[in-house]
Amino acid sequence: MPVGHNARSVANTKRLSDYEDERDQDAFWEAIRPADEPLRHRWFLPAVILILAVSVPWYLPPSVGGRLAAGLPVWTWITIVCGLALAVITAFASLRLWRDGADEDGDAASDVASPAASGENP
Amino acid sequence: MNTSVPEVTFGPGALAVLGGYLVVMLGLGLLGRLKQKERSLRDFYLGGSTFGFAVLFLTLFATQYSGNTLLGFAGRSYVQGATYIVSVTFMVLVITVFMIYAPRLFRLARRFGYITPTDFVYHRFGSHALRVLCVVLLCWGLANYVLEQLVAMGHGVEAISGGRMSFMQGVLLLVGVMLIYESLGGMRAVAWTDAVQGSLLLCGCAVILYTLVTADGGLAAASEGIRATAPERLDAPDARGLRTWVSTLLMLGLGVALYPHAIQRIFAAKGEKSLRRSLAAMGFMPLGTTLLAFLIGFIALSRFPGLSQLESDKVTIYVLGGLIDRSPVMYWLIVMVFAAVVAAIMSTADSALLSIGSMFTKDIYKSYFRREASAREMLIVGKTFAWGIMAILILMAWVSLETESSIWVLIELKLEFMVQLSPVFMLGVYWRRMPASAVLTGMVLGTFLTLVIWCGAAFDVWATRSPWGVGAGVWGLLVNYGICVGWTVLRPAKLPATVPA
């Protein structure tokens, strides 16, 4: 729990700097790691950066705009295809590289909100 | 106004559709009120965290794609030409950025019951100054975001009513309906109305896309027209343009991913599976919506050359208005599209307003003014604050109309500051040794630098607010990240003895 109920009841008598001690940072960092996440896969970030690098037409001269394909300048199709590639890799990351490990749909009721963090009166 | 711009005349049928739509919105607000399980902040601001895939995806979609997407982005595409294709990449990048911090933030939100993004900020860093600064920057950004929607509302209703309703009458009508359903049902009402609005938006975009590529020679004719009148708008970017491109990717890709109302939808998910599937689907949406806005601006450039900055915000209205008299079927399709535009505007404004109310109530009022405030009192305060903010923003929308401020300028004011929160989330969820002092210093100096560059350009001290083609906010962000990383490397936070370094 980041801030306890009892601690909050006397909170107004404390200096601002005193609040920091009441947050349980061990609990915070224990809770933060999902079973799997995209950044844990070493290829994910380089792949994203590579797609972004190709999507920016730094390797083409500005005058290339005169060449059209399907009604648009050819170079814009490169950016559109890169956008599609980024969407595919993002969807893959979301569906296959991210596993929470604890929470699945339908379990929401079991998630008891911390009154301290949520600001609710207990 | 350019003489080639068509007069848009929708007739009474369109007004009836708009009226019917607004009645449905009010009905959903009432239903949201009746379905409320308890008078708590979690229920009002996060809908009790019960949204499954369909509602979550549609509310994310309707919230992310606003009136600005269909009006402002199209206007920007008109002004900038082919290089605005960058908009497709940055809107996909927003979802990619979610992949970096959402898995961790979602877990924390579930475990500790976060209501607002700044719940995380305080929990992670324990700094009041940092929390207040984050609330100020986020509310600043969101208020501008709502203001931008108000401007779009005015233009939308003015067009759909064929001039029978003025800009301000349109704003007041839509804001009135929005405030009523939002105050009645909170996030639940907002998400349900978003679901209707998102569906309308999806159908509307499909109709526009089909119409654009089939009518009047489609894109090929548009490109030929541009080649004849403004061939430079077809060119790939030059060296400065490339730097601006990368700067835009950074500012919008990182900044839009920090919209508090989008983060709160992460908190509102029923579970991990709904959230993962919704975000996966959201990654593909720019290819139907942002790309569409780009194409509208592109086609408008060939048909209505020479529009002013303010008029460029209306190119969507002009392009579609030019098709309305083709056939009765086309008339009703275009009416549906305009209903979708109005829906997109309202769905974004209501979500942003709800988010402002939640942050003020939870992070400021409850934390610093009335720690003993009950949930009921906080809900009343939150709604009152939202109504007050809206009154101020309506006044500002009127001023922006009088001063011919374009929508794009408002967007930049929003994101330039909001993006300064990026290290808080992107580094904050991974780097335990990063201290609050580093983040606070980075954010203060980053925001200050942004402000200096911006104000210097506004008061003509220097020529541009994008030195070397890079936006003021990105310069601030570079300083911000530099301080966070440098400070943490040189003076890392002390860890408890039990934690391995």
Residues 6+ apart with CB under 8 A from B151: B313, B397, B400, B401, B405, B407, B410
Nearest CA in chain B to A53: B246
pLDDT band at A14; cut points 50, 70, 90: very low
Residue A79, in any domain of the structure:
yes
Rounded CA gap, B160 and B197, in Å?
Answer: 17
Partners of B221 on chain A (C-beta within 8 Å) are 71
Nearest CA in chain B to A89: B96
Q: In this complex, which of B123, B223, B374 lies closest to A68 when CB atoms are compared? A: B223
Indicate the number of domains in chain A.
2
CB within 8 Å: A100 and B85: no
pLDDT band at B130; cut points 50, 70, 90: very high
Rounded CA gap, B99 and A94, in Å?
Answer: 7
Partners of B235 on chain A (C-beta within 8 Å) are 62-65, 73
At B500, is the secondary structure helix, strand, or coil? coil
| Statement to judge: residues A44 and A79 lie in one domain | yes
Helix and strand element counts for chain B (H, E): 22, 0
Q: Which of B39, B57, B89, B377 to mutate to test the interface with A (most CBs of A within 10 A)?
A: B89
CA of A28 vs chain B CAs: smallest distance (Å)? 7
pLDDT at B346 > cutoff 90: no
pLDDT band at B498; cut points 50, 70, 90: low
| Statement to judge: residues A47 and A1 lie in one domain | no
> Cα-flanking dihedrals φ and ψ of residue B491, to 5°?
-135, 70
Residue A91, in any domain of the structure:
yes
Domain extent, residue A4, equals 1-32
| Statement to judge: residues A8 and A44 lie in one domain | no
Rounded CA gap, B222 and B147, in Å?
Answer: 32
Residue A85, in any domain of the structure:
yes
Partners of B374 on chain A (C-beta within 8 Å) are 121
> Cα-flanking dihedrals φ and ψ of residue B211, to 5°?
-65, -45
Nearest CA in chain B to A69: B220
Contact present, A87 and B286 (Cβ < 8 Å): yes
Partners of A80 on chain B (C-beta within 8 Å) are 85, 88, 287, 291
DSSP collapsed to 3 states, chain A: CCCCHHHHHCHHHCCHHHHHHHCCHHHHHHHCCCCECHHHCCCHHHHHHHHHHHHCCCCCCHHHHHCEECCEEHHHHHHHHHHHHHHHHHHHHHHHCCECCCCCCCCHHHCCCCHHHHCCCC
Residue A108, in any domain of the structure:
no
CB within 8 Å: B287 and A62: no
| The pLDDT of residue A22 | 54
| Statement to judge: residues A28 and A39 lie in one domain | no
Domains of chain B: 12-410 (1.20.1730.10), 431-496 (no CATH)
| Statement to judge: residues A44 and A28 lie in one domain | no
| The pLDDT of residue B383 | 84
- C-alpha dihedral sign at B30, B35, B37, B43: negative
Question: CB burial class (10 A; 0-12, 13-18, 19+) of residue B334?
Answer: buried
Rounded CA gap, B481 and B422, in Å?
Answer: 9
Residue A106, in any domain of the structure:
no
Residues 6+ apart with CB under 8 A from B75: B297, B312, B313, B314, B315, B316, B406, B407, B408
CB within 8 Å: A52 and B220: no
| Statement to judge: residues A28 and A42 lie in one domain | no
| Statement to judge: residues A48 and A96 lie in one domain | yes
| The pLDDT of residue B416 | 87
Eight-class DSSP state of B8: P
Mean pLDDT of B395-415: 66
Q: Complex ipTM, two decimals?
A: 0.88
Q: What is the pLDDT of residues B140-179, one digit of tens each?
A: 888 888 888 888 788 778 777 777 788 888 889 888 888 8
| The pLDDT of residue A44 | 96
CB within 8 Å: B237 and A71: no
CB within 8 Å: B249 and A52: yes
| Statement to judge: residues A27 and A42 lie in one domain | no
Partners of A120 on chain B (C-beta within 8 Å) are 40-42, 113, 375
Q: Which of B111, B264, B266 to mutate to test the interface with A (most CBs of A within 10 A)?
A: B111
CB within 8 Å: A32 and B219: no
Q: In this complex, which of B219, B221, B374 lies closest to A70 when CB atoms are compared? A: B219
Q: What is the pLDDT of residues B97-126, one digit of tens each?
A: 999 999 999 999 988 889 899 999 999 998
| Statement to judge: residues A56 and A19 lie in one domain | no
Partners of A20 on chain B (C-beta within 8 Å) are 126-127, 436
Find the length of chain A. 122
pLDDT at B409 > cutoff 90: no
CB within 8 Å: A48 and B96: yes
Partners of A11 on chain B (C-beta within 8 Å) are 371
| Statement to judge: residues A75 and A88 lie in one domain | yes
pLDDT band at A51; cut points 50, 70, 90: very high
CB within 8 Å: B128 and A82: no
pLDDT at A25 > cutoff 50: yes
Residue A19, in any domain of the structure:
yes
Q: Which of B56, B98, B209, B234 to mutate to test the interface with A (most CBs of A within 10 A)?
A: B234
CB within 8 Å: A105 and B375: no
| Statement to judge: residues A63 and A83 lie in one domain | yes
Of B419, B435, B423, the residue nearest B470 (C-alpha): B419
Of B179, B118, B136, the residue nearest B354 (C-alpha): B179
Partners of A46 on chain B (C-beta within 8 Å) are none
| The pLDDT of residue B144 | 84
Q: pLDDT over 70 for what percent of chain B?
A: 94
Partners of A122 on chain B (C-beta within 8 Å) are none
Q: CB pairs below 8 Å between A and B: how many?
A: 234
CB within 8 Å: A56 and B123: no
Rounded CA gap, A71 and A78, in Å?
Answer: 14
| Statement to judge: residues A27 and A59 lie in one domain | no
